[in-house]
Amino acid sequence: MTNIGLPRGVQDIMPEEVDIWQFIEETAREIFESYNYKEIRTPIFEFTELFVKGTGDTTDIVIKEMYTFLDKKGRSLTLRPEGTPGVVRAYLMNKIYSNNIPWKVYYIGPMFRYERPQAGRYRQFHQLGIEVLGIKDPIADFEIIKIALDFLQRLKLSNLEIDINSLGCIKCRPYYKEALKEYFFSVQEELSEIDKDRLKRNPLRLLDSKDENIIKLKEKAPQSLDYLCEECKEHFEKVKNYLDMDNINYKVNPKLVRGLDYYTRTVFEISTNLLGAQNAIVGGGRYDNLVETYGGPSIPGLGFAIGMERLIILLSKLGINLKNKDKKLIYFLIPEDKYLKTAIDLSQYLIEKKFKINIGNPNTSLKNQLKIANKIGADYVFFVDSITNENKIKIKNLSTGEEKIIPLNELSLELETMI
Ligand code: HAM
């Protein structure tokens, strides 16, 4: 037992749990790739400025949740708190925009936020995300929501709530922000010092405050939908029409603002009432100015991210047991070194036939090897010493206890019944 332990908010994913992680990752890859998205792997740490400018210097993430440190040359680096800024940076650095075609990517990996840990909220957590760059039309908003749902449905999750809202664009949002400022200014004596500061810097951030008092005040606050310009209204109508066309149930939630600064127009969340306070599983939206914020051309973008830990908690709460169809495990009983070569040759063949193999240790007794085979959950044992001049092998099925002696030239046929 070590006395070193783990920092708060991080956890091991132990071999017993890894099946479900791999299953979810494989399902995500399959779904995202079937919509023609390709995987991107961006670095775990980036220059701090990337998140300050992108995620936004008025967000909780940037103000208090980043793991920021200086490297040996005094440059400020940050462990990525989210995937979107890195993807947009890669898009710009590689001048993908010069192709003039939409760019669709997905990512899977760890993110880091210094939050107060609780069930479903960690300091290192994992996201599955997609980003689309270069499509301004509402069809893309519909597509990403559809992809998130397809993925969740593939995991047998239903009865999730989809909330959508529109935050307007750089043209109409200033009017909305002004109205919000006016409203919160009129009740400013009820605001904490932190919230007064938020009001000055970005009144939108008051709307995602978890403070009880603000939650009450929010009830009467102006709503972005009432301030949308004609283009934003039309865009939002079309997103809703597409969702209706596909019979996707959603709720327009005028209170949904999402805690990141880059969003424009559509924002959405998919949540469940089974996870307590940390109920959002998917969060996403449009960010039509982010590429420009980083000094690039005017290119619209949008995407979402799914929290894997929350997904796994939900699956286990619902008793949904998803596992990869596991390969069968064959354990070779090796009485002496002289049988090793036979086992190794045969194991190569079995691996090609999609079995897992475990070669016994000839330095321990056969009895002990058999005990281990049972303990590790082997499906079959192969008695290598039974491969005699007659070219036959003895196979034991450990779950039924049945034993068979099979001529080697019939092994391939036998293997088909063992899968
Ligand atoms: P986000 O809402 O900050 O959005 O995170 C997306 C999801 O990540 C959440 O809904 C939640 O499931 C999970 N998550 C966030 N923080 C934690 C945490 N501390 N512990 C466990 N799970 C967590 C984004 O990150 C945006 N980049 C999404 C996006 C992509 N928007 C456009 N493109």
**272-329 pLDDT per residue, tens:** 988 887 789 999 999 999 999 999 999 999 999 999 999 999 999 888 877 766 799 9
Q: How far apart are CA 250 and CA 164, in angstroms?
A: 7
Instruction: Report the domain count for the chain.
Output: 2
Alpha helices in 262-359 (DSSP H): 290-293, 308-317, 340-352
Nearest CA to ligand 1 atom 16: 121
* Amino acid (1-letter code) at residue 56: G
Cβ–ligand 1 contact at 304 (below 6 Å): yes
Together in a domain, 43 and 135:
yes
DSSP-assigned states of every residue in 24-48:
HHHHHHHHHHHTT-EE----SEEEH
* Tokens found for residue 417: 């019944």
SS3 per-residue string spanning 221-270 = CCCHHHHCCHHHHHHHHHHHHHHHHCCCCCEECCCCCCCCCCCEEEEEEE
Contact present, 161 and 271 (Cβ < 8 Å): yes
Domain assignment present for residue 209? The answer is no
What is the value of pTM for the model shown?
0.92
Give the model confidence (pLDDT) of 77-130 as tens digits.
999 999 999 999 999 999 999 999 999 999 999 999 999 999 999 999 999 999
Together in a domain, 99 and 232:
yes
Q: How many residues does the chain have?
A: 419
* Tokens found for residue 29: 């890859």
Together in a domain, 309 and 373:
no
Nearest CA to ligand 1 atom 23: 307
Helix (H) or strand (E) holding 145: helix 138-154
Nearest CA to ligand 1 atom 33: 303
End-of-domain residue from the set 259, 287, 317: 317
| Residue range(s) defining the domain that contains residue 342 | 329-418
Domain assignment present for residue 119? The answer is yes
Contact present, 278 and 267 (Cβ < 8 Å): no
* Tokens found for residue 139: 């069809």
Cβ–ligand 1 contact at 122 (below 6 Å): yes
* Tokens found for residue 27: 């399902």
Mutate to test the pocket of ligand 1, among 59, 64, 79, 82 (most ligand atoms within 8 A of CB): 82
Q: What is the CATH number of the domain that holds 374?
A: 3.40.50.800
End-of-domain residue from the set 317, 350, 373: 317
